[in-house]
């Protein structure tokens, strides 16, 4: 129960801070401020557009992936999709600036008026981050169409358009809605992308406005009001999503194809071209980093800063993930026993308590805690403690989503047998360990990757003297030192890839496979 105490205590502190008792208070007049209304509109607009465009682009790509199983590198492509979804956002931002910024590689080909900063850049980044996710989910949904559907369509001589409407559409329709809501929430809570590519007050989101109110204006009341606004909106969308159902977002459809319609030659070519284009598109921001690095001034480059930041990031991410894992483990124990004793209602309450940080975006919790702690403690020396704990708290829902089904499955299958065999606690752990190890490793690695990319919590609790790798990238990009930013980005990316590789080659740890088995995570904030 200690774990529940920790989780509830932290949120309680944050909301105590948000209620505003001394310096800050909720200011309803702000809701009529034209600036606040403008950023609210912009937040909704950019999330809506990001979701819509991500899905519009994802549909043809998902069809390509599904209908052309013989395409070379299809499995690698699906993994690349996963990577671009969990890639630290600032790596992408650096890549985009290198490609499409003022002196980007592609910029000369674009019109005179092209401006990456503002809605353009935000949309590009959000589509890049979320479209691959949609591709994975949709291609998987297409895989669920029974053979008979296709046979019937061919029998009835349906035109491609008709068969899309009659066969494919029903299969993807339900997940489309869910997917849109999911991407909408991710983009609504997006912080780093907007911070780096926003380009002025015209394209600010609520999440960034909270940060600015705290750090630019030191206007606690405004930060608090905005945090409530963000919480209310994100929370209601989340509730809506919970009604819509679950999204199996990590899973990869690598399954065998049984029966597929044959497409006319020209269409196959179109699919191939599209496939190559998307490959190029997904790789280009990463590839753009490489030539940019060449202009680093190697003599004056501060290697020490780079490597200490990298180590610091790694240490912070590992500690947060480990803490999150331990907390989740303890959070799950009472839930396991509710299954055993069939306490349905109690279980729902416990689960909500355990994963409630999903509803409250990182920035909201950070703001509340910050306002609470500021007059009370020395955040300079304890900031890192809060940084780790808050990150861990935000990671819990992800680990929870992956571990719980596996643990419950174990209990359902083996609880009686374990009792019957009179296993000692040690023997039980010995049996449980190999069973949950894959899920444990995959959820841990996911947590490490997410924590590695954290910008939101760091922006509030971090210390620029004590910079993490993403924050360093933001600093470099901020002072327009693109070469250094590219180098740091590449290092961060390599770190992520190395971690994935490491976890996959840990005995029993299959990042993708175990993910595909039982990973139903509803939401992901903190991107």
Contacts with other proteins, residue ranges (CB under 8 A): 2, 33-35, 38-39, 42, 101-103, 115, 117-118, 199-202, 204, 212, 214-218, 300, 319, 322-323, 326, 329-330, 333, 374-375, 378-382, 384-385, 388, 413-414, 416-417, 419-429, 431, 434-435, 464-465, 478-481
| Rounded least distance, CB 389 to other proteins, Å | 9
| Rounded least distance, CB 103 to other proteins, Å | 5
CB proximity list for 27: less than 8 A, separation 6 or greater? 221, 222, 224, 225
CB proximity list for 99: less than 8 A, separation 6 or greater? 105, 106, 107, 284, 285, 288
Whichever of 242 and 411 has its CB closer to other proteins, that residue is: 411
| Rounded least distance, CB 202 to other proteins, Å | 5
Whichever of 463 and 504 has its CB closer to other proteins, that residue is: 463
- Distance in angstroms (rounded) separating the CA atoms of residues 443 and 86: 13
Helix (H, G, I), strand (E, B) or coil at 30: helix
Whichever of 103 and 174 has its CB closer to other proteins, that residue is: 103
Whichever of 123 and 183 has its CB closer to other proteins, that residue is: 123
Give Rg (Cα) of the chain: 24
Whichever of 98 and 135 has its CB closer to other proteins, that residue is: 98
Query: Using alpha carbons only, what angle is made at residue 129 by residues 119 and 110, rounded to the nearest 5 degrees?
Result: 45
| Rounded least distance, CB 489 to other proteins, Å | 17
Whichever of 166 and 481 has its CB closer to other proteins, that residue is: 481
CB proximity list for 494: less than 8 A, separation 6 or greater? none
What spatial distance separates the first Cα and last Cα of the chain, rounded to whole Å?
29
- Distance in angstroms (rounded) separating the CA atoms of residues 322 and 441: 11
| Rounded least distance, CB 414 to other proteins, Å | 6
| Rounded least distance, CB 472 to other proteins, Å | 13
Whichever of 39 and 449 has its CB closer to other proteins, that residue is: 39
- Distance in angstroms (rounded) separating the CA atoms of residues 82 and 134: 10
DSSP characters over 186-201 = HHHT--HHHHHH--SG
Helix (H, G, I), strand (E, B) or coil at 484: helix
Q: Give yes or no for a contact between 204 and 39, defined as CB atoms under 8 angstroms apart.
A: yes
| Rounded least distance, CB 422 to other proteins, Å | 5
């Amino acid at each position: 129960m200690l774990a529940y105490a920790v989780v509830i205590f932290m949120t309680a502190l944050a909301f105590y801070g948000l209620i505003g008792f001394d310096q800050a208070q909720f200011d309803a007049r702000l809701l009529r401020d034209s600036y606040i209304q403008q950023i609210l509109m912009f937040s909704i607009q950019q999330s809506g557009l990001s979701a819509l465009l991500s899905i519009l682009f994802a549909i043809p790509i998902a069809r390509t992936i599904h209908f052309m199983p013989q395409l070379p590198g299809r499995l690698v492509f699906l993994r690349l999709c996963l990577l671009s979804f969990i890639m630290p956002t600032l790596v992408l931002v650096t890549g985009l600036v290198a490609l499409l910024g003022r002196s980007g590689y592609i910029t000369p080909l674009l019109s005179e008026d092209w401006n990456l900063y503002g809605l353009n850049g935000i949309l590009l980044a959000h589509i890049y981050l979320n479209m691959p996710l949609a591709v994975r989910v949709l291609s998987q949904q297409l895989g669920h169409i029974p053979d008979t559907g296709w046979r019937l369509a061919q029998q009835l001589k349906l035109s491609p358009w008709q068969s899309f409407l009659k066969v494919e559409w029903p299969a993807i329709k339900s997940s489309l809605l869910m997917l849109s809501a999911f991407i909408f929430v991710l983009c609504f809570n997006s912080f780093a992308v907007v911070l780096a590519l926003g380009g002025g007050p015209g394209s600010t989101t609520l999440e960034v406005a909270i940060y600015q109110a705290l750090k630019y204006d030191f206007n606690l009341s405004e930060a608090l009001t905005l945090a409530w606004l963000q919480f209310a909106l994100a929370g209601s969308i989340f509730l809506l999503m919970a009604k819509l159902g679950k999204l199996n977002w990590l899973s990869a459809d690598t399954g065998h194809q049984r029966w597929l319609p044959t497409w006319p030659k020209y269409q196959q070519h179109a699919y191939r071209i599209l496939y190559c284009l998307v490959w190029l598109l997904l790789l280009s921001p990463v590839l753009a980093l490489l030539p940019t690095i060449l202009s680093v001034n190697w003599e004056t480059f501060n290697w020490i800063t780079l490597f200490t930041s990298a180590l610091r990031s790694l240490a912070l991410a590992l500690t947060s993930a480990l803490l999150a894992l331990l907390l989740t483990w303890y959070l799950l124990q009472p839930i396991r026993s509710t299954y055993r004793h069939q306490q349905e209602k109690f279980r729902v309450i416990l689960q909500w308590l355990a994963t409630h940080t999903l509803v409250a975006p990182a920035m909201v919790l950070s703001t509340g805690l910050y306002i609470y702690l500021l007059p009370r403690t020395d955040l300079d020396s304890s900031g890192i403690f809060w940084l780790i704990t808050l990150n861990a708290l935000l990671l819990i829902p992800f680990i929870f989503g992956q571990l719980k089904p596996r643990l419950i499955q174990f209990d359902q299958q083996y609880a009686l047998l374990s009792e019957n065999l009179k296993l000692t606690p040690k023997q039980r752990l010995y049996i449980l360990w190999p069973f949950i190890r894959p899920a444990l490793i995959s959820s841990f690695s996911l947590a490490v990757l997410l924590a590695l990319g954290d910008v939101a919590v760091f922006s509030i609790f971090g210390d620029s003297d004590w910079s993490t790798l993403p924050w360093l990238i933001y600093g470099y990009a901020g002072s327009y030192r693109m070469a250094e930013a590219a180098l740091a980005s590449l290092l961060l990316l390599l770190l992520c890839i190395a971690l994935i590789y490491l976890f996959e080659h840990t005995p029993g740890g299959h990042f993708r496979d175990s993910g595909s088995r039982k990973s139903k995570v509803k939401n992901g904030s903190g991107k």
